[in-house]
Homo-oligomer: A and B are copies of this chain.
């Protein structure tokens, strides 16, 4: 059994890791860590785990963490992993899967500019592997430190990479209009998560300023070989889970629906967590709820010459904890689907 430790167990990312890892056949939840409430039982904070016999919350201590776990998941706010992960790496003994954004951007400059804080040590940023499993499987298999992708970038990149890589869409034409449930904002309190403010409401936020923009641009360029600015706009939807990305690109002349449909189907034919829906359909976020799937539908509008991509994930699963576990499975030579639910929760 692989011994796993979870840092940030009192947040939503931590809770989702526990949900999925508790049912994982090859894993033992060895340690739960929290900087704020050490010594406490997690069920005091999360009554849904009442009676499950989980480990008590332990303080964050790199030395013991490196000794007592085979892999540590960091489900922490930006900035924490930047300090902790290099310590763990240098101690050796445990692998690290970081769900925060601290090791995703190769350029420290970009991190500083979009995150408004100091980047992690460049040495370790360069060693970290970007864990978009479907596209980096080999590097993930050999990695010690995974930068697990952001929720928006996951849904966006799985949709955009195939057509960019094939040269079918004009660089710079991408508009990515994304809609997310509220759990993506985490468990912290703010007016932006107050039920009475968010229920029966939709709004955009951080227009032209969201920190997932450079992550999308960086990985799109790496996978496709072409630099392309991306216009990214996130919206907050009155639901708890789910992300829908509606992405618009200007097609090169003459590209047909059949051609791109076939491209997507063949690209992801052997990827169990990416499901290419039939032409003409509209995937719903609810159709992947609780699961690690990314479902994608492709629409070519001949009238305007554009491709419209619809991509849905559960932001807590494929957009966070699920993909992290998928990466762990690859890192430990386990079946890629181990511990990940086969069927979404519906309705």
Contacts and interface: CB of A to CB of B under 8 A. Distances in A.
A198 to B, nearest CB: 5
Contacts of A56: none
Contact of A208 (B287, B289, B303): B303
A183 B185 CA distance: 21
Given A50-B277, A342-B22, A289 B244 contact: no
Interface residues of A, number: 81
Copies of this chain assembled into the complex = 4
A34 interface: no
Given A23-B343, A194-B195, A343-B23, A306 B231 contact: yes
A127 interface: no
A163 interface: no
Nearest to A186: B196
Contact of A229 (B207, B208, B304): B304
Given A19-B345, A207-B308, A241-B347, 18 more contacts: A23-B343, A48-B286, A48-B287, A48-B343, A50-B277, A51-B275, A172-B304, A185-B196, A196-B347, A203-B285, A203-B310, A204-B282, A205-B282, A207-B299, A207-B301, A229-B304, A231-B304, A238-B239
23 contacts: A12-B196, A18-B343, A19-B341, A19-B345, A47-B283, A48-B288, A48-B343, A50-B287, A179-B179, A182-B196, A185-B196, A187-B196, A189-B189, A189-B194, A194-B194, A194-B195, A195-B240, A199-B200, A199-B238, A200-B241, A207-B301, A208-B301, A290-B290
